[in-house]
Structure 1
Amino acid sequence: MAEILIIGYGNTLRSDDGAGQRVAELVAEWKLPNVRSFPVHQLTPELAEPISQAELVIFVDAYPATSEQGLQVHSLCEGRPYPPLETGGLESSQGLNIGHTGDPRSLLALSQILYNNTPLAWWILVPAVNFEFGESFSPKTTENIQDSLAQIQQIIVK
């Protein structure tokens, strides 16, 4: 059975910034046999090994959004069989910037360099409006956490 990883990252003490971790926790509650969830504070090089062993990886993070912006879903594997669910303006990654300020493409590149394997990958960005100290989500982020779970279900059923 192919393994699927859900890597949700962000700071749970900065309100909406913890949305990625919350999504990973909620997916873990589904208890699917081939799905492992990693709620983490930030992306670290140690994640490259489990990424290299997966068939599919879904990264989830919050992004600062305006009131007009919504959930973004990006395919990170050009030329792979799944078309993007929604396109967005992701700039190209420069170097191997690992950490919360970096992006998942750095970990995918590291997986390729170290383990000669890069799985199919998606990047779900949850709109966030409140980054103040706190542990609760704004209504906008709460709604989009639920939308991100629906997108994950859609991706993993393919």
Structure 2
Amino acid sequence: MRVIIGYGNTLRGEDAFGVDVLKELEKFEPKETTLVTAFALIPELILELLEADEVVFVDACYSKTDHYALACNMLIQQTPQFSHHISPEILISMLKTLYNRQPKYFIYSMFSNSYEKIKNKSKYQKCIYTLALHLAAHKE
């Protein structure tokens, strides 16, 4: 089974990208896929991953350049983690340590520098649709 987690703050402009992608993806009704939306990655989400063979994380990623570019498998975050926001790698590591489960995982991000509003709605919507279509058509 595949689990796709779209996360971000829906009140902060383009930070809602992960959640918005999952809303679009629901229209495609992907088979053998569980869709999970979240404000942020938190340890409790590992319970959603217990049966997963594959996990896909979708979010917005801050960038001063390359606005509205899509990227896959961003560099591993090396900063200290706090209980209210952890990296996808930490979630997968917790799943392995606590439940001896290690699904393959992928990270898709849209580069953005606007967490106050959506600056270019047509480019934002194109990124949402492009990624939703890719995720609906492909099981990684």
- TM-score, normalised with respect to structure 2: 0.83
> Gaps (5+ residues) in structure 1?
75-87
**Alignment RMSD:** 2.3
Q: 2:131 aligns with which of 148, 155, 158?
A: 148
Determine helix, strand or coil for the equivalent of 1:149. Answer: helix
* Post-superposition offset of 1:51: 1.4
Q: Is the 8 A contact 1:55 1:119 kept in 2?
A: yes
How far, CA to CA, are the matches of 1:45 and 1:12 in structure 2?
Answer: 20
Q: What is the distance in 1 between the residues matched to 2:16 and 2:119?
A: 8
Q: Secondary structure, in 3 states, of the residue corresponding to 2:50?
A: helix
2:53 aligns with: 55
Rounded Cα–Cα distance in structure 1 between residues aligned with 2:33 and 2:87: 21
Amino acid at match of 2:90: S
Assess, with a 3 A threshold, how the Cα gap between structure 1 residues 30 and 20 changes in structure 2: closer, same or farther. Answer: same
Q: CA deviation at 1:63?
A: 1.0
Worse-matched range after superposition: 123-132 or 24-33: 24-33
CA contact (8 A) 2:25 2:133 kept: no
Runs of 4+ in 1 over 6 A off after TM superposition: none
Q: Report the Cα distance in structure 2 between the residues aligned to 1:115 and 1:65, rounded to whole angstroms.
A: 35
Q: Secondary structure at the match of 1:53?
A: coil
Q: Distance in 1 between the 2:81 and 2:90 partners?
A: 5
- 1:71 and 1:147 in contact (8 A); partners too: no
State TM-score, norm by structure 1.
0.75
